[in-house]
Amino acid sequence: MVARAVAVSHHEEHRGLCCPHPSPPPWDPAEDLRCIATTFQYLQTSGWYWGSISAVEAREALLKQSEGTFLMRDSSHPQYMLALSVKTRCGPTSVRIEYSRGSFRLDSISPSLPHLQSFPDVLSLIQHYRGSGDTPQGQASKDIHPKTKPDPAKHTVKDSGVPLKLMHPLHKPEAFPSLQHLTRLTVNRFTDSPDQLPLPKPLLRYMQDYPFQI
């Protein structure tokens, strides 16, 4: 959350009572590179990052899937890096992922959701909305109402408040997870501290390389 600086009135400036505007803390561009690189490393490992496919291709992949099936892809909008494509009750749709100063969040214009929660990486964002009951405005677990991008081939997807249920990631066919990765996911689902497990150091490092449940 970025706090707004309160402007001093013109009369105060004229009387010499104006204080300097507080400047935002300095931001190291190298942090952007680190955060973005980390997120894409996690996504490549996940198996459900589909890269530079189009919205139409994402729709085709999700069309016959059950509600709540999702995938991550590159956004076609030049101001965004990523988009989340999801099968909703009205059909497939997409939500852009915003990035700013080391934080990712869902793009939303809903008046009831002026500030969606931010996360240090996209995997943490998806895991939060997939498995947490702490959803915006006390809605049902796993339901979110971001600004959605209507399916260009399905006119019934008009409601910008269609709830998105994130249930099952759709793995890219050629990137289906290995048995080792599936085992890591299972361990992560049953412990919050895998680094405390009595495992050899190479296995502990492998666990730490992907500390997520999806």
Q: Please give the pLDDT value at position 113.
A: 52
pLDDT digits (tens, 9 = 90+) for 78-125: 999 999 999 999 999 999 999 998 999 998 755 555 567 899 999 999
9 domain-assigned: no
187 within a domain of the structure (yes/no): yes
pLDDT of residue 21: 57
- AA letter at 174: E
**Judgement on whether residues 99 and 136 belong to the same structural domain of the protein:** yes
Examine the domain organization and report whether 83 and 182 are in the same domain: no
Task: Note whether 128 and 105 are same-domain residues.
Answer: yes
Q: What is the pLDDT averaged over residues 53-82?
A: 95
CATH number of residue 140's parent domain: 3.30.505.10
* Residue 167 C-beta-side C-alpha neighbours within 13 Å: 13
Using DSSP's 3-state secondary structure scheme, residue 94 falls into strand
Most trustworthy range by pLDDT among 94-108, 133-147, 152-166: 94-108
Q: For the beta carbon of residue 192, count every other beta carbon within 10 angstroms.
A: 7
Query: Looking at the 3D structure of the chain, how many domains does it have?
Result: 2
Q: Is the pLDDT of residue 139 over 70?
A: no
Residues linked to residue 93 through DSSP beta bridges, in sequence order: 86
Domain carrying residue 197: 177-214
Query: Is there a single domain that holds both residue 187 and residue 171?
Result: no
Q: Which residues contact 36 (CB under 8 A, 6 or more apart)?
A: 81, 99
On whether the pTM is more than 0.75, the answer is: no
Q: Say yes or no: 86 and 63 in one domain.
A: yes
- Is the per-residue pLDDT at 159 higher than 60? no
Residue keyed to tokens 């677990």: 141
> What pLDDT digit, counting tens, does each position of 82-92 carry?
999 999 999 99
120, 39: one domain: yes
User: Residue 211 belongs to a domain with what CATH number?
Assistant: 1.10.750
Q: Are 71 and 61 in contact (CB under 8 A)?
A: yes
Residues 171 and 184 both lie in one domain:
no
Whether residue 183 is contained in a domain is answered as yes
Q: Are residues 111 and 210 in the same domain?
A: no
**Residues 97, 152 within the same domain:** yes
**How much is the pLDDT for 133?**
37
Residues 95 and 190 in one domain: no
Q: For residue 15, is it within any domain?
A: no
